[in-house]
Amino acid sequence: MSNRVVITGLGSISALGLNSEAFWQAIKTGQSGIDILQGFAPGALKMALGAQVKGFEPATFFAQKDLPLLDRYSQFALIAARESVVDAGLDAEALTQAAAVIGTGCGGKETDEMTYDHLYKQQKNRAHPFTIPRGMPSAAASQVSMQLGIQGPVFTVSSACSSANHAIAQAALMIRSGIVDVAVAGGTDAPFTFGLIKSWEALRVISSDNCRPFSQDRSGLVLGEGAGMVVLESEAHAKKRSARIYARLAGSGMSSDAGHITDPSAQGAARAITAALLDAEIDYQDVDYVNAHGTGTQANDRTETEALHLVFKSHADKLIISSTKSMHGHALGASGGLEFIATVLAIQDSVVPPTINFTGPGEGCDLDYVPNNAREHKVNTAISNSFAFGGLNAVQVITRF
């Protein structure tokens, strides 16, 4: 018999705040974390906007001796993971036996950029001795393991913008199968390096003005950064220690488009949603809320809407849908973690986040996207979508406990 999975801890850092309380307050009130990018030479970037973490001083969170080994993406992962564990009230013994699965789309890009600048621009002939352990894609997972004392299965999942949702799915599967009772899971990314921004500019999917998911005048995505982490437990383990339970992770669905590297497929997304509902043993007509992938690009928003019509049929018109990327930006591998937290808190507080900057429905976007203002609504069942470049899709079903 499969163990039921519940959510007992939340942790985040993003453009909307340095913790989950600040994040949720901003989400509920429709505040934007998107602003003019700081830290780059004037005129160096065409991409002027981003959702950067503000007021972040690494020395506030980490000992000076530890910082040389911590890329910015690992710092974010640690801050969010620590908060989730404290929020869950886990003790050292429980953590020793736990798992940690950390998603990232980019890995240690800050370290890469520093290294290439050092070698090619400054013409130095040696790299820093910590370059590999600091910047490797699994560095954040290793740091979370070491600093929290997690000695169970620990690994990294990388599937671009679906990384966090894939990581959460893997953690849940380990709990359901009895491999572990507790897991820390989510995603982290810090993409604001000059080289990576120039690469995103070249893709021509970046907005020059703002992030307007599903809107008639949407012009592209806006990058963000941060981390979103959750503590998952078997229901029996959580009840045994009298933990506060936010919600139940009822099921996960995953699929691949097996099509185009950047052009999304409605059928591929629909397969992931359908698989998640089947896994959760939930009828599509029982879904109240969809936390959409909702990037603000022409192709994504139209395709995601089509996928919702394919799965939910006439019930699609009754769905309440929002894209919180309109506020925290597209944080790539971290987005699914941040959106998972927003979905959990929407269920707990009976408040559906808005899609801000909405000016009217775009062509092919004909559903209820909760424009501009949050909505009080009791949510019993929700799904959270992540659809990545490469056609890699992951969907979570979260229900009221």
> Is pLDDT at 76 greater than 90 in this prediction?
yes
The helix (run of H) or strand (run of E) holding residue 385 is strand 381-388
Residues annotated as catalytic are 161, 293, 330
Question: According to the model, what pLDDT value does residue 2 have?
Answer: 87
Least confident piece of the model among 37-46, 160-169, 305-314: 37-46
| pLDDT over 70 (residue 255) | yes
Among the listed residues 226, 160, 165, the one whose alpha carbon sits nearest the alpha carbon of residue 12: 226
- Which tens digits make up the pLDDT trace of 356-379? 999 999 999 999 999 999 999 999
User: H helices then E strands: how many in the chain?
Assistant: 14, 14
pLDDT digits (tens, 9 = 90+) for 390-401: 999 999 999 999
Percent of the chain with pLDDT over 70: 100
Residue among 282, 305, 281 at smallest CA distance from 293: 305
* Element of type H or E holding 183: strand 182-189
Q: What is the pLDDT of residues 146-205, one digit of tens each?
A: 999 999 999 999 999 999 999 999 999 999 999 999 999 999 999 999 999 999 999 999
> How would residue 382 be classed by pLDDT, with cut points 50, 70 and 90?
very high
User: Do the Cβ atoms of 295 and 386 come closer than 8 Å?
Assistant: no
Nearest to 196 by CA among 296, 105, 125, 78: 105
Quick one: average pLDDT of 56-71?
Answer: 96
The confidence score (pLDDT) of residue 47 equals 86
C-alpha span between 360 and 371 (Å, rounded): 8
Q: What is the pLDDT of residues 290-307, one digit of tens each?
A: 999 999 999 999 999 999
Please say if the pLDDT value at position 83 is more than 70: yes
Averaged pLDDT, 319-330: 98
Q: Which residues pair with 384 in a beta bridge?
A: 291, 396
pTM for the full model? 0.98
Domain 5-240 maps to which CATH number in 3.40.47.10, 3.40.91.50, 3.40.50.150, 3.40.718.10?
A: 3.40.47.10
Q: What is the pLDDT of residue 256?
A: 98
How far is Cα 101 from Cα 20, in angstroms, rounded to an integer? 19
Domain boundaries, the chain: 5-240, 250-399
What is 250-399's CATH number? 3.40.47.10
Q: What is the mean pLDDT of the chain?
A: 97
What's the pLDDT score for residue 176? 98
Given this chain, do its domains 5-240 and 250-399 carry the same CATH topology? yes
Residue 394: which H helix or E strand, with range? strand 392-399
Q: Work out the number of other CB atoms within 10 angstroms of the CB of residue 204.
A: 9
Q: How far is CA 292 from CA 75, 307, 339, 373, in A?
A: 27, 11, 9, 16
pLDDT digits (tens, 9 = 90+) for 263-273: 999 999 999 99
Q: Does the structure show a pLDDT above 90 at 44?
A: yes
- Nearest CA to 270 out of 321, 304, 314 is that of 304
Please answer whether residues 146 and 98 qualify as being in contact, where contact means their C-beta atoms are separated by less than 8 angstroms.
Answer: no
- The pLDDT of residue 1 is above 80: no
Helix (H, G, I), strand (E, B) or coil at 261: coil
Q: Tens of pLDDT along 211-251?
A: 999 999 999 999 999 999 999 999 999 999 999 999 999 99
| Sequence-ordered list of residues with C-beta below 8 angstroms from that of 249, at least 6 positions apart, any chain | 5, 6, 7, 168, 172, 232, 396, 397, 398
Q: Residue 389 corresponds to which amino acid?
A: F
